[in-house]
Amino acid sequence: MMDEQSTHEAALAENGRGGVAGEAGPAPADPVELEAGAAGPGAPAVPGAPGAPGAPAETAEPGEPGDGGGPSDEDAGEPRRRRSFWRELPVLIVIALVIALLIKNFVVQAFYIPSPSMEHTLNVGDKVLVNKLVYDFRDIQPGDVIVFNGVGSWDPVPPAVPASSNPLVRLYDAAIRPLFRSVTGLFGTAPGQQDYIKRVIGVPGDKVACCTKGKITVNGVPLSEKSYLFPGDTPSLTHFSIVVPPGRLWVMGDHRFVSYDSRGHMVDPGNGTIPESQVVGRAFMIVWPPSRWRVLPIPATFGQPGVTSGKPAADAAPGPVMVQAAAPLLPLELGFAGAVPLTWLQRRFRLRARSGRGRPAGGRPGQAHRGRSDRGRCENSDHGRAPGRWGRRGPAR
């Protein structure tokens, strides 16, 4: 009797350690749970932990690669492109200034008209374009409206300044100061310039005289100047007769009563004529104000035989005035017009080269990103899968 009671108590103690008789013991850990980071074999699954029964599947956080819901590569690149533009803006300005200086010094320059000596061909406040290349291809002709520098003919030559012994000062005088004046000239200021704008009446070898029957003659041919003279002006109140020396020009303004031209400088070197070498270029168009926008051709009277030495008549139209010129904004505008497409092309090439370096071999730039995203979703689906046949074990036998 005592032996049977001891055997029964031992059986009850054994069942207490293993749980209630007939119930299964703890299920072994699922391999998927082990991959998901379970504590170890036999550890109970924590509710809500990845891989636990009923736990939601893991999803990529918004904005992580592969989720499809975060900012795209294009959105992420927008701030970069904005920063790139501000870094390139100084380069754009420098390129524009260089192009503007090249245009101003070698091709075309605009001049502001501050005096009435060429009215009404040119009025005070007009801006004209001056072609600096035209006389590389043809000679100066009677009737041309030209801009020239009066230093050494109408204006005294400035006294020579002794060179400084300081090399920095010499560098400033030789390079930096002219560059500074050129740049400031782009904004309408031209300090120290002594430029004038007049109409050519006689070229080298011509005999210019006043007056025959109230008209100026060139090589004995009277000029009909009514089309461009200021209303009410006579051709000249000053009588003169001169044969234009080689390499020089006789010039006059269209508003003869107020123009201080070759007639007023007959006591200066050259007897009022100006050297061809000092000609800046030919004024060919009024560009400001818009209401006066027009071309400045040569009046037809200068096409008469004898005046042009048998050359055919040029385009007809009035001409300009004597002025002290000031450089305009047009070259700067043209410089920016040229710099913008150049900078745009440079950015395009650079972005294309950068995208080429970042492209994976054998595919387009977006393919690798999509592969990573798909792989992430597969892994997440494994973590969120219900345990199924592995999650429940049969009762221990």
Name the percent of the chain in helix, strand, coil, to the closest 5: 35, 15, 50
Out of 104, 115, 117, 153, the active site residue is: 117
Tens-digit pLDDT string for the chain (397 aa): 555 555 556 655 555 554 444 444 444 444 444 444 444 444 454 454 555 555 555 554 544 444 545 555 555 556 666 667 788 888 888 888 888 888 877 889 888 898 899 999 999 999 999 999 999 999 999 999 999 999 888 988 878 778 778 888 888 777 787 777 777 666 654 445 688 999 999 999 999 999 989 999 999 999 999 999 999 999 999 999 999 999 999 999 999 999 999 999 999 888 999 999 999 999 999 998 999 999 999 999 999 998 875 343 333 333 333 343 444 445 555 555 555 666 666 667 777 777 766 555 555 544 444 444 444 444 444 444 444 444 444 444 4
- If one counts the domains in the chain, the total is 2
Token representation of residue 292? 């006066």
H or E element that contains 238: none
Cis status of the peptide bond prior to 28, with omega within 30 of 0 = no
Specify whether 223 is located in the same domain as 370.
no
Specify whether 369 is located in the same domain as 319.
no
Specify whether 236 is located in the same domain as 383.
no
Q: Known catalytic residue: 198?
A: yes
Residue 252 near residue 210, CB atoms below 8 Å: no
Sign of the CA dihedral running 282, 284, 287, 293: positive
Specify whether 270 is located in the same domain as 385.
no
320-366 pLDDT per residue, tens:
333 434 444 455 555 555 556 666 666 677 777 777 665 555 555 44
Specify whether 212 is located in the same domain as 133.
yes
Query: Which CATH number characterizes residue 243's domain?
Result: 2.10.109.10
Residue 252 near residue 262, CB atoms below 8 Å: yes
Range of the domain at 380: 24-56+363-389
Out of 104, 127, 132, 198, the active site residue is: 198
Specify if 286 maps to a domain: yes
101, HSE (Cβ side, Cα atoms, 13 Å): 13
Among 310, 325, 340, give the residue marking a domain's end.
Answer: 325
Amino acid at 384: G
Report the residue count for the chain. 397
Specify whether 151 is located in the same domain as 212.
yes
Specify whether 247 is located in the same domain as 142.
yes
Residue 18: burial class (beta carbons within 10 Å; 0-12, 13-18, 19+): exposed
Which of 142, 275, 130 lies closest to 208, judged by CA? 142
Residue entry with tokens 């009435």? 116
DSSP character at residue 254: S
Among 276, 295, 325, give the residue marking a domain's end.
Answer: 325
Specify whether 369 is located in the same domain as 321.
no
How many angstroms separate the CA atoms of 55 and 141, rounded? 96
Strand order in the sheet with 240-243: 221-222, 215-218, 207-212, 240-243
Specify if 48 maps to a domain: yes
Residue entry with tokens 């497409």? 341
How many angstroms separate the CA atoms of 113 and 296, rounded? 15
pTM summary value: 0.58
Amino acid at 57: A
Specify if 347 maps to a domain: no
Specify if 312 maps to a domain: yes
Residue entry with tokens 């204006």? 155
286-332 pLDDT per residue, tens:
998 999 999 999 999 999 998 875 343 333 333 333 343 444 445 55
Specify if 180 maps to a domain: no
Q: Known catalytic residue: 311?
A: no
